Chains A and B, each alone.
Chain A
Amino acid sequence: MAENNASFVRHELIKEQVPPVSQRGVVKWVSENLISSPFNVIMTLLSLWIIYSIIVNSAPWFINGIWDAKSVRECYDILDGVSGACFAVLKERFPQLIYGFKYPSTEYWRPNIAVVLLLAALAPVLFRKLPQQLLGFSAIYPFLAYWLIWGGTPLVAVIAFLGLAFGIYCFRRFSARSFAFGVIIAVIAASFFWVLGGYLSEANETFLALEAVPSRDMGGLMLNLLLGTIACSISIPLGIVLALGRQSNMPIIKWICVIFIEFIRGVPLITLLFVANVILAFFFPPDTSIDLILRVIIMMTFFNSAYIAEVVRGGLAALPTGQYEAANSLGLDYAQSMRLIILPQALKISIPGIVNVSVGMLKDTTLVSIISMFDLVGMIRGPILATSEWNGVYWELFGCAAAIFFVICFSISKYSQWLERQLETSNR
């Protein structure tokens, strides 16, 4: 019997060796990502050159920027031939950029509070993890914001809110018997309340009144945000209704919706703003004057709702027919099946699209500067660049406007991506 005592059998593993230098750490990353092929080397060098030239050209401009000057002449005098920005214009005209040039400067705190409260009102809508009782505040917010921004007596806003609440209460009460009956009663009740309240608020115009600011005095970034928020918040429900109408099997209702949506989507926003500016007044009763901002809001809401309707229609079409059939087989009527089964799923699919459309709307509010309203861009092109002090400081002003919009729109689109991940419930 041969004794097997081969001593070369190892009983423990050899220690793992460190990978060669070319296969680890920075060297591996660089060789894989930056210089894997001659073409890649060229691209890397090209990009580095682009980054370098941007930095070299813009860094001194930023670093030498002048923050304290009375006019562009003074800026150039201080700079003395060196390349540099004249940020002084942003500092000096800051209130104009934000609030427009007519909003009374003693009342700037009102829009400020309105924006802070807007964030508070949006929070429970945007983040479902917050306590949902906060939604009550979101419901009150539009009326509060109206009072804060436009001023006047709070009675108008209070009565509008109470009338709405009364209408909804009546609807809840009577809709059990019949949907149509509930709606009719609610509308009558609310209108009755508003007419009565109208007399009350006219009689007490000075009660707790803030200084009233007419719409034409709104301007600057405030106007952009105002138009964007109002148009978006009204157009989302309107868009959903239009989308449902387009899906309807009642031909007349379907065609009304189709013609509306396709007409609005077929023309540029600027022509709709022309309509708001010069034509819409012809369609209101004679001797009424509806101010421009309201006419613009009407047209922007129509515009946005047509696009939202298309997005929602995409969401509705993406649902499998089985969902509709399941809702029917449970014996739900149209309103119930839409509210409980179809819309929650369809809206979930359409959230990214709705957010994209809304971001687009916010960006498009700058177009009102073309019909000579003084929003952020309108302020820059009109009252600021036209003055002799700041004539010619394009870069700083447009750069600032671009940066403001970038921050707002980029964060909204990041939020929508986050929400999409949150709502992802499938197992994929």
Chain B
Amino acid sequence: MKFNTVIIGGGLAGLTAGISLQMAGKSTAIISEGQNALHFFSGSLESMEEAPQRVVDLFAQAGISLHYNPGYRLMPMGTFKKSTLSLEDISLFPETKIGNKALIVSFSGYHDFFCGFLQEGLEKQGVQCRVQLLSLPELEHLEKSPSEMRSVQIARTMDLVWENVVREIRILLRDEDTVILPQVFGLKDTSVLSRIRQGIPAQVVFTGTLPPSVPGIRTQMLLKRRYELLGGTYLMGDQATGAHIHDGSIHSIVTHNLGNHFMEAENFILASGSFFSKGLRSNPFEISEPVFGLDVEQADDRSDWYNPEFMREQPYMKYGVTTDASLHAIKGGEPIKNLFAIGSILGETRPELGTGGGLAIRSALEVADQILKQTAE
């Protein structure tokens, strides 16, 4: 199996790189273990202070409309957070104030959406709030099982019965100017979001739930579909386990499922994420990168990895694989000529590229451009 580029990791970084290369006619493959950070995506891309048309277009072609509107978004605990480039689910406000009167709507038996915290947070801002819990017959089958009232399960039902919710809310609505709903809508069909907004005579603010994130899973599905429509090969449920390196270049990589069929390519991109996604591995003595054994920036003494205060910035989250100026990954102090690292496996070793979603997209586009430039040369 030979490709122009093999990408390890099918999250936001890997898919952005894969789509960009496929659009330029390169043959690529993505190896994905399955879940990634998009499954708890907040809906706003971190550290995207500007909105490059290229990014908006790339998402739009996948069926995802991003809107750029620097301001504040309402967080699930009733706080506000500065945000810029966001999915259409997310409402952005110029100030930390959403209206005068709000109706907060959730479902009875659903504990992953925090009406009380939202109410308290908003009332502090002078917003009068009323909470209503809906009991829909269509959700009874979920209520019966003690662990089924979760975001994605509800969203699957909402894809079918969202109109009933709109009807109920129209009945409940008094003089509120704002309706707050959990992000459990439009899992399969994003047009549902705007149809709900049209159907309710007040501004509708979709607010986050406990993971999994419905907007995040939708984004993952749409980007993956776009990648596959462009001819990309997405190997779901596989894992890169090792690599063959000759003369400072990667010749091929070994995967769990393909066994002796090695994946050869001219370029390799490592987009395997941080600790959560197992891109970085840790034991009591060190933090390592498991596929290639790359150099990882870290403090030598484990005591320095953590801040004892949970809510403070944690040093370990800043650690990542080291790279040269053009994002070539470094092993034993030497850059590997055809291996690039992108996304959160970089930690905060490249602060100029941002963090979170911003880092994923910027580093992915930069590496895709380099690969295309090389070929052109």
Whether both chains belong to one complex is answered with no
Interface residues of A (CB under 8 A from B): none
Interface residues of B (CB under 8 A from A): none
